[in-house]
A and B are shown apart, each in its own frame.
Chain A
Amino acid sequence: GESVGLHLPTLSVQEGDNSIINCAYSNSASDYFIWYKQESGKGPQFIIDIRSNMDKRQGQRVTVLLNKTVKHLSLQIAATQPGDSAVYFCAEKGSGNTGKLIFGQGTTLQVKP
């Protein structure tokens, strides 16, 4: 089954289920979006990115969906594993050239064995 998370601080799922983590971004002019995974005591680790001219992008076990109409981004993780337990952040980059990323609040994903 699936577990769908609204933008809640914590999402708890059963191992093997699919996870969906949601994010609302702030700037309609942002043209590049990244999902990061952060494990305790470590830096943000790149998962997948998407440009604003795309609606969907797939990676290995992960899919990012972008809905520019409502400024919404989601990360889908298929067959969630214990190693997926971490905090997940979405980040947006504006259309300027400075490369600045604006991070969302983050969602803690807990995977139950």
Chain B
Amino acid sequence: EPEVTQTPSHQVTQMGQEVILRCVPISNHLYFYWYRQILGQKVEFLVSFYNNEISEKSEIFDDQFSVERPDGSNFTLKIRSTKLEDSAMYFCASSDDLGEGYTFGSGTRLTVV
């Protein structure tokens, strides 16, 4: 069964440092997403990406965040200057053209110290 893969599984970074979280979506999917989940809370939408541009972003996705699809397979989330409150699980997801077949990766646990 096709999978969304994310690397690394864990990332510890110092406050103020830049981090890049990486994802390989399912190959024939056209929509790509990032979500986050603070420990014990619900999953929150960050951003959706289609046709090489952001199609929607949430209030959480401020100027410190950016996404990129640098090649035909990878999809990245960059946090320029991490804050303590950025500590969370970050999930990448992808879906087909109808927004169905929605599949999540296993997540990257980001800890900002």
Identify the A interface with B (CB < 8 A). 32, 34, 36, 41-46, 49, 89, 91, 93, 96-106
Contacts and interface: CB of A to CB of B under 8 A. Distances in A.
14 contacts: A41-B107, A43-B4, A43-B107, A44-B91, A44-B104, A45-B104, A46-B103, A49-B100, A91-B43, A93-B99, A98-B31, A99-B33, A99-B99, A106-B42
Contacts of A104: 42
B15 to A, nearest CB: 24
Contact of B45 (A45, A46, A97, A101): A101
A65 to B, nearest CB: 20
A4 to B, nearest CB: 22
B68 interface: no
Interface of B: 4, 31, 33, 35, 42-45, 48, 50, 55-56, 91, 95, 99-100, 102-107, 109
B52 to A, nearest CB: 14
Contacts of A36: 104
A50 to B, nearest CB: 11
Given A98-B55, A99-B33, A104-B42, A46 B102 contact: yes
A100 B48 contact: yes
A105 B109 CA distance: 20
B42 A105 contact: yes
A14 B103 CA distance: 30
A98 B48 contact: yes
A63 to B, nearest CB: 19
B44 A97 contact: no
A34 B43 CA distance: 13
A98 to B, nearest CB: 4
Contact of A44 (B43, B48, B50): B43
Contacts of B48: 98-100
